[in-house]
Structure 1
Amino acid sequence: MTTSTTSESSAAAPLLDLQSLVVAVRRRRRLWCSMALLGLLVGAAVSVLLPSPPTAVAKVLVAHQEDQPNDPGTLIRTDVGLLQTTRIAAKALRSLGSPEKPEDFMQHYGAVGLTNNLLQITVTGDSDAQAVARAKALADAFVADHVTRIKDAADAEAKALLDQRDRMQGELAQVNKAIGDGSSQSGPKASANLESLFASRAELTSRITDFSQRAAEARIGTPQLIAGTQVVDAPRAVRHSLPRTAATNAAIGLVLGLVLGLAVAAVGTVVADRPVLRRDIAANLGASVIAELPRRPGGFRRRRRIRAARERLTASLARTVRGSPEPVSLLELGCARGASVIALDLAGALAAEGPVVIIDGLPGPQLAKRRPKPGDPTVVSGERAAAVSHQERRLGVGSVAPGTAWTDLQYLGTQTVLVVRAGHGSAAWLHTVARQLADQRIPVIGVVLIDPDPRDRTDGTLWDGLHTALRGQNERLARQNGTGPRRTERQPMWAARVPDSDQEAR
């Protein structure tokens, strides 16, 4: 019934739990803080190891014949594109007398339109003087090219208009000749022809005058455009401040590293699917969280709180072990050292009632290679565990990490308390642990959560797990004996419909 309930809750869960994601990313703050610090250091190092080359800037006012108040900046972007051509670069190199190729020179300068008519040119060089000279040559070459294009456009337009005027003048000459030949004739037909010719002569004369005026006007605006295109800010070297540049690059590197670290942490959290919240860990393991122990000691107050939590946990587990007729084991997942410390504390609390033997099933040296102190319980492992007397209280300590020999866990204890580090095991592996323990018929009394998230406010209690939970042990024993108070705590809906005999069988 517990498995089915867990499956239903998992099926109804959203694909992405934002609360779990935020908690998991926050727990990986070492990763994204390290990435942010690395980005800060790289940004500062780039400013020192790759300093900015000497740079010069110049500003050019560009007048266009097609200027409009609502121009979106198309004309100035065209000027920027024209500046990045081999023709302008070649003219600037010729004025400098440099043998450099225009294609190579184009890699050392750029331009940006500040307004619809203001162009800023930025040039780099081997020194400030060279950068200033290059900026001046580029600005002069661009102004000269722009003026040439304005003149060529005006001359082409004027020439086209004058050609039209000359053609009209040829037609007018033919009309005048026809009028002279027709004036000697008489009659109504001749008079009509003369009237038509006079009308054509008047129209041609008007059109010739119009083309002459338009040709003159085509050149009138050219001087104004030429005068309006000029260098308004002479080339000057840009002063670079190394501390300011280093601070700027370091800030940029810090932000980029932080963003990259957060992205990596978020993606890793989603891909790994490692439950962190006590709610998710309890649901995946099918057992309630009965206690928590912080992993990092911190300051004095924090160490005192951890010590108090360990004492409460030891007392609770000691009561459970005393009241259980079956041996109890501690099985760890991702916290072998924490499980060994809890086992030693628990054995010390039980030592006053009789000898206690810890059966070491951990794969590491946490218990096997520790130096025993006076008064410490006996620790045995391997074949020596079979020789332990039944009069001695047994406390098994093992692991449910990948590679565990599942069939050996029942020799550590027929009941177990799982000691799990939050965020260590994936959801799939937690399901595997619960399934393997169920196959071995080892009920899980509860889960001790190591290194929990301090901001976790979720409930780690499974209300449908009373048959194995600590809070249900006394009631279970009372039911078996037919005595004891009736249970008054809240039950799941399915438990109210199942008879007591069937529920105990489950």
Structure 2
Amino acid sequence: MTTTSTTSGPSAGGPLLDLHALVVAVRRRRRLWCSMALLGLLVGAAVAVLLPPQPSAVTKVLVAHKEDQPNDPGTLIRTDVELLRTTRIADKALQALKSPEKPEDFMQDYGGVGLTNNLLQINATGDSDAQAVARAKALADAFVADHVKRIQQAADAEAKTLLAQRDRMRDELAQVNKAIGEGPPKSGPKASASMESLFARRAELTSRIADFGQRAAEARIGTPQLVAGTQIVDAPRAVRHSLPKTAVTNAAIGLVLGLVLGLAVAAVGTLVADRPVLRREIAANLGASVIAELPRRSPLLWRRRRIRAARARLTTSLARTVRGSAEGVSLLELGSARSTGEIALDLAGELAADGPVSVVDALPGSQLAGRRHKPGDPTVVSGERAAALSPQERRLGVGSVAPGTAWTDLQYLGAQTVLVVRAGHGSAAWLHTVARQLADQRIAVIGVVLIDPDPRDRTDGTLWDGLNTALRGQNERLARQNGGGTSHAVQAVGDGRPRTERLPISAARVPDSDQEAR
């Protein structure tokens, strides 16, 4: 005996995330991410037109450092960039511009970029090109003046320190010379050694005094080179902005951002919604094989012909199945009410050659019964008038298994049914609910007609290790004709071949999960 369990999650042995199904589901939601990409493109272009950039100016300053090294990683120029954005530089520039603006506010309108270890680029904005150029020039002059002042102050401080050391040693040398001039107090070996140490000290002090004097001179000599090396090498000029170029750039950025955001939303929505799209998933969740497919409508002419041909083949196949059935057959839709109604009308027209056929419309809103009747169309009655039909007249029920369905009324539409399901419409949990409710009502599922399948889906929608829906429908008819209350189920044996087992009808259930416990 086969036991089943109901679950909407992944099977115990299956992967937690089916990348194939995820890619297919995201591709099917291309309207969403294409719309978001188009929206991002339009917003980017609109921003470029409605919010044009402020007038700006640029200038370049060559900055000489005393500590310059060939292997400098750019620490000195980064320090200069930060010094540029100080209130001292901003205040000096505002003084040159004779502007009452606060330095803190002015600092928001300019910035610096270190292009190389010694090249600083200054960018400034303003209300007009002339104001932006004036601001860039004032900032460059203020920075050069501040940098030169700091160099001179550092050189003066170093020279002053060296000269102070030289003067201290000169005082000490004077004391040593005085001691040598007075001579030793008395003769002897100790007196001679003392004089020798004084002469050695005088020679050392003389050498160090000359060295400090030379270093102080060099410190001051190097300053003019640094001062001359710090200068404006590129005069301030206004930056020309091209509206078409800016619009194209912003539109491209908006397109990419919108596309990425749309794909992310589509992927997250797919994972959260858990709506099966592949044939194998829909068949496994419904417990019935996919027996036919029908593409969605298309405005293209060559696709219309292909869709009409596919509908004709579907009508012929369903007509063959209905003719061979001794019991009533219904079409139950899930997310495809319009397509199901059209299929029912085509099928009724095909069966009209064998005798009178009536379509029982149990769709929400009586979509078929309320439509305008055309000559040659089959008879369509609502569910309330179905009891008045002649017993000799063939009935073709059309209903829905969408949320809110009156499940107990489905058995009056037909003991067998064909599910017409739109791919990606129902969640896995609801597909399990449909299979469970139909089994409880003892409605045999002949198969599934998949509406709007993914054209790149290469999965198999046939249940090889589950209940064979076609055999089950035949066995149901035999059991009812013989008056027995039995149904047949197909169970996979160890060698992978199906075998038939007779079960009570109450136990013949559509599998609620992808795997059966044996």
TM-score (norm 1): 0.92
Displacement of 1:100 in angstroms is 0.8
Displacement of 1:6 in angstroms is 9.4
- Per the alignment, residue 190 of structure 1 pairs with 191
Displacement of 1:85 in angstroms is 1.1
Following superposition of structure 1 onto structure 2, how do residues 82-97 of structure 1 map, counting pairs within 5 Å? 82-97=83-98
Say which SS state the counterpart of residue 12 (structure 2) adopts.
Answer: helix
Displacement of 1:381 in angstroms is 2.6
- Once residues 64 and 458 of structure 1 are traced to their aligned partners in structure 2, the CA distance between those partners, rounded to angstroms, is 70
Displacement of 1:34 in angstroms is 1.2
Are the equivalent residues in 1 in contact too, given 2:173–2:202 (CA < 8 A)? yes
Q: 1:433 to 1:473 in 2, by over 3 A?
A: closer
Are the equivalent residues in 1 in contact too, given 2:491–2:498 (CA < 8 A)? no
- Per the alignment, residue 124 of structure 1 pairs with 125
Following superposition of structure 1 onto structure 2, how do residues 103-502 of structure 1 map, counting pairs within 5 Å? 103-469=104-470, 492-494=492-494, 500-502=500-502
- Per the alignment, residue 486 of structure 2 pairs with none
Say which SS state the counterpart of residue 64 (structure 2) adopts.
Answer: coil
Displacement of 1:438 in angstroms is 2.1
- Once residues 221 and 431 of structure 2 are traced to their aligned partners in structure 1, the CA distance between those partners, rounded to angstroms, is 87
Displacement of 1:371 in angstroms is 1.1
1:237-282 CA-partner distances (Å, limit 9, x unpaired): 1122222222222222222212221222122112212111112111
Q: 1:9 to 1:157 in 2, by over 3 A?
A: closer
- Per the alignment, residue 58 of structure 2 pairs with 57
Q: 1:140 to 1:2 in 2, by over 3 A?
A: farther
- Once residues 472 and 410 of structure 1 are traced to their aligned partners in structure 2, the CA distance between those partners, rounded to angstroms, is 17
Q: 1:496 to 1:232 in 2, by over 3 A?
A: closer
Say which SS state the counterpart of residue 331 (structure 1) adopts.
Answer: strand
Give the gaps of 5 or more residues in structure 1.
Answer: 483-489
Q: Read off the aligned partner of 1:217 and give its amino acid letter.
A: E
- Per the alignment, residue 516 of structure 2 pairs with none
Are the equivalent residues in 1 in contact too, given 2:444–2:473 (CA < 8 A)? no
- Once residues 229 and 496 of structure 1 are traced to their aligned partners in structure 2, the CA distance between those partners, rounded to angstroms, is 86
Say which SS state the counterpart of residue 397 (structure 2) adopts.
Answer: strand
Q: 1:127 to 1:8 in 2, by over 3 A?
A: closer
Are the equivalent residues in 1 in contact too, given 2:21–2:277 (CA < 8 A)? yes
Displacement of 1:3 in angstroms is 4.7
Say which SS state the counterpart of residue 123 (structure 2) adopts.
Answer: strand
Q: Read off the aligned partner of 2:167 and give its amino acid letter.
A: D
Which deviates the most, 198-207 or 221-230? 198-207
Give the gaps of 5 or more residues in structure 2.
Answer: 483-489, 509-518
- Once residues 92 and 9 of structure 2 are traced to their aligned partners in structure 1, the CA distance between those partners, rounded to angstroms, is 77
Are the equivalent residues in 1 in contact too, given 2:8–2:429 (CA < 8 A)? no
- Per the alignment, residue 11 of structure 1 pairs with 12
Are the equivalent residues in 2 in contact too, given 1:58–1:122 (CA < 8 A)? yes
- Once residues 405 and 50 of structure 2 are traced to their aligned partners in structure 1, the CA distance between those partners, rounded to angstroms, is 52
Are the equivalent residues in 1 in contact too, given 2:288–2:468 (CA < 8 A)? no
- Once residues 221 and 238 of structure 1 are traced to their aligned partners in structure 2, the CA distance between those partners, rounded to angstroms, is 37
Are the equivalent residues in 2 in contact too, given 1:495–1:503 (CA < 8 A)? no
- Per the alignment, residue 486 of structure 1 pairs with none
- Once residues 443 and 210 of structure 1 are traced to their aligned partners in structure 2, the CA distance between those partners, rounded to angstroms, is 110
Say which SS state the counterpart of residue 448 (structure 1) adopts.
Answer: strand
- Once residues 395 and 465 of structure 1 are traced to their aligned partners in structure 2, the CA distance between those partners, rounded to angstroms, is 28
Q: 1:69 to 1:31 in 2, by over 3 A?
A: same
- Once residues 178 and 426 of structure 1 are traced to their aligned partners in structure 2, the CA distance between those partners, rounded to angstroms, is 108
- Per the alignment, residue 72 of structure 1 pairs with 73
- Once residues 323 and 107 of structure 2 are traced to their aligned partners in structure 1, the CA distance between those partners, rounded to angstroms, is 85
Are the equivalent residues in 2 in contact too, given 1:60–1:119 (CA < 8 A)? yes
Say which SS state the counterpart of residue 160 (structure 1) adopts.
Answer: helix
Which deviates the most, 210-219 or 381-390? 381-390
TM-score (norm 2): 0.90
- Once residues 474 and 495 of structure 2 are traced to their aligned partners in structure 1, the CA distance between those partners, rounded to angstroms, is 18
Displacement of 1:354 in angstroms is 2.0
Q: 1:163 to 1:365 in 2, by over 3 A?
A: farther
1:384-407 CA-partner distances (Å, limit 9, x unpaired): 223333322222111111122222
Displacement of 1:92 in angstroms is 0.5
Say which SS state the counterpart of residue 292 (structure 1) adopts.
Answer: strand
Q: 1:438 to 1:138 in 2, by over 3 A?
A: same
- Once residues 298 and 497 of structure 2 are traced to their aligned partners in structure 1, the CA distance between those partners, rounded to angstroms, is 47
- Per the alignment, residue 512 of structure 2 pairs with none
Q: 1:286 to 1:316 in 2, by over 3 A?
A: same
Q: Read off the aligned partner of 2:257 and give its amino acid letter.
A: L
Q: Read off the aligned partner of 2:407 and give its amino acid letter.
A: W
Say which SS state the counterpart of residue 453 (structure 1) adopts.
Answer: coil
Displacement of 1:298 in angstroms is 3.2
Displacement of 1:323 in angstroms is 1.3
Are the equivalent residues in 2 in contact too, given 1:292–1:448 (CA < 8 A)? yes
Aligned length: 498
1:412-461 CA-partner distances (Å, limit 9, x unpaired): 22221111111111122212222222222222211111111111111111
Q: Read off the aligned partner of 1:332 and give its amino acid letter.
A: E
